[in-house]
């Protein structure tokens, strides 16, 4: 991975943190408990939460469930 790619990755991660839905702490705690119960390795929890945010953001933007 080049330094330029690393910079772009960092930029994207910062953009996601600023512009996507923030999951409330009490929901994150329950979601992480579910991940533990389902034996999802802890090193993947970040990605599961990230994709949950993607899904919720998409749902809010495009009214997927309505």
Task: List the domain boundaries for the chain.
Answer: 3-62
User: What pLDDT shows up at residue 30?
Assistant: 95
Whats the size of the chain, residue-wise? 66
Kind and range of the H or E run holding 39: none
Which residue, 39, 33, 27, 37, is CA-closest to 52? 27
SS3 call for 9: helix
Lowest mean pLDDT among 6-10, 49-53, 55-59: 6-10
pTM: 0.65
Mean pLDDT, residues 42-53: 93
d(C-alpha 2, C-alpha 47), whole Å: 22
């Amino acid at each position: 991975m080049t330094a330029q790619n690393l910079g772009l990755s960092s930029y994207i991660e910062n953009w996601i943190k600023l512009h996507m839905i923030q999951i409330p702490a009490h929901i994150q705690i329950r979601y992480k408990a579910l991940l533990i119960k389902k034996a999802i390795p802890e090193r993947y929890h970040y990605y599961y939460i990230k994709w949950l945010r993607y899904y919720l953001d998409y749902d809010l933007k495009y009214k997927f469930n309505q």
